Amino acid sequence: MVSISVQQPHHLLLQEDRISTPGPGEVLVEVHRAGICGSDMHILHGTNPFARYPRVLGHEMSGTVAAVGPDVTGLADGDRVVIDPVVACGQCYPCRAGRPNVCAKLEVFGVHRDGGFRDSLVVPAANALKISPMLDFGLAALAEPLSVAANVLSRTGCSDQDVVLIYGAGTVGVTVLQVAKLFGARCIVADPDAARLQRATAFGADLVLQSGSDDIPEAVSGELDGLGPSVVIDGAGVPALLGEACRVAAPAGRIGLLGFSPQPTPVVQQEIVRKELSIVGSRLNRRLLPQVIGWLEQGKLQPAAMITQTFAAADARAAFDLVEQHPEQTVKVQLSFRQ
């Protein structure tokens, strides 16, 4: 059994690992596809504040059930599944409030627990979500990053009445764009990289703006009869963007933040209060994976072009090197653990 772990920052290790046996309420899942996420890179670099080492990476994975433990119902050997990486206690205030993604005892596969960059792993049965046999494993592994987009758009109340400004045309921005378009919103994407903007156009952006060349506030000022965009999403994780987001957002606008930077950023209270803006953080997903899986199975989302490269698990070092050294060539790099 191959596993891909970070023993300590900057030390990626491929090694043989033992196969576990599922206990009560658990299932053993054979991993087929797993996506490399920006947070995996942060763990490798030692910049993820939540990771503990050593750690097997990976929280975007799909596979098949290989064994079920006692007391498991609704799943059987051979079922195809997507793994929800969020493990919550179900009892604390956030859980009772329907926000298990910020559980007081939150554990995430690949961050707090060993993740899915290995041939197989044991997970709580509730975290193994059954999918159609017709859904490709690669597409299925995109369900988790798409659920992150669904979460921030749920937090900001996105609908077909909105104009959405998305900062960043990387993986996060592209997933937010696809889900926002599914909701019927008009979408504007800003990014400094022309190639990324071209990709955003291919994924349905109504308008693309090149940061550093285009005047973003001026370019979006005419939206909604001169009020500006009603939803602004920071998909780039750049703290300085918050101030601009508050300036460009329409009255009654909503701003969604996805980054984890500890750096402070200046914002003007007057701007927030004058326009009664809502600023929300968004982390992981709060049980939105079933909805996203449904969109994928029904063809409402067609994100296949996001998968720019697929590497055999044994070539994980080359995959990580590509993501690190040539990010302009990648959107989503996946590892294949089985043919």
Annotate 273-302 with DSSP letters as a single string: HHTT-EEEE--S-SS-HHHHHHHHHTTS--
Task: State the angle between helix axes of 38-45 and 316-325 in degrees (0 to 180), rounded to the nearest 10.
Answer: 100
Domains of the chain as residue ranges with CATH = 2-142+303-336 (3.90.180.10), 149-281 (3.40.50.720)
pLDDT of the residue at 237: 87
Residue 189, pLDDT above cutoff 90: yes
Mean pLDDT of 128-141: 98
Contact yes or no for 229/180 (Cβ under 8 A): no
pLDDT of the residue at 56: 97
DSSP string, 51-90: --SSEE---EEEEEEEEE-TT--S--TT-EEEE--EE--S
Residue 140, pLDDT above cutoff 80: yes
pLDDT digits (tens, 9 = 90+) for 14-66: 998 888 999 999 999 999 999 999 999 999 999 988 898 999 999 999 999 99
Mean pLDDT of 133-156: 98
Average pLDDT across the chain, whole number:
96
> Which phi and psi angles does 7 have, rounded to 5°?
-75, -35
Q: How far apart are CA 287 and CA 127, in angstroms?
A: 10
CA dihedral 14, 320, 12, 87 (to 10 degrees): -90
pLDDT of the residue at 260: 84
155 pLDDT tier (thresholds 50, 70, 90): very high
pLDDT digits (tens, 9 = 90+) for 259-310: 888 888 889 999 999 999 999 999 999 999 999 999 999 999 999 999 999 9
